[in-house]
Structure 1
Amino acid sequence: MTFWGKGREPRLVSGMRCSKCDGPLVRIRRCTEVFLRCERCGARLEVRDYARYIDDSFEEDVAHVPMDRI
């Protein structure tokens, strides 16, 4: 049995690359936060630093999580 809600599992984010190593980014959603993690170097990155790349799909996945999108 899984206790993860819809959208809580790590999800590869299309169109976003790590600013440190150019690796692919994964969106991590927690109850009170959302952040990006690089699959290659493991860096934890803030969503606000990638705001210009946020698309409707990403926004829908995190719609109910309070975070700085600007």
Structure 2
Amino acid sequence: MVSVVLGAENQHLNPVREALRADDGALHRRLLNIRSRAGLAEEISVLRVFDVIVWMDGRDRGLGQRADLGR
């Protein structure tokens, strides 16, 4: 894994952690609300809800295509 080789294991999660804690947990509460409104079980983590939203947004914008990744 590249992050392990570069000594940056899990560094990409720090901005996510900070965002979830910012503004007295406003993003965390919003994601809880989205999870609830979507009818998802409480076993689905807030981080997973965030992950799916970001993935869907990127997909809708055409990001993540091989050409976008420089391959």
- Range class of TM-score, shorter chain: under 0.3
Greater per-residue strand proportion: 1
| Structure 1 length-normalised TM | 0.22
Greater RCO, 1 or 2 (C-alpha within 8 Å, sep 6+) = 1
| Structure 2 length-normalised TM | 0.22
Structure (1 or 2) with the larger CA radius of gyration: 2
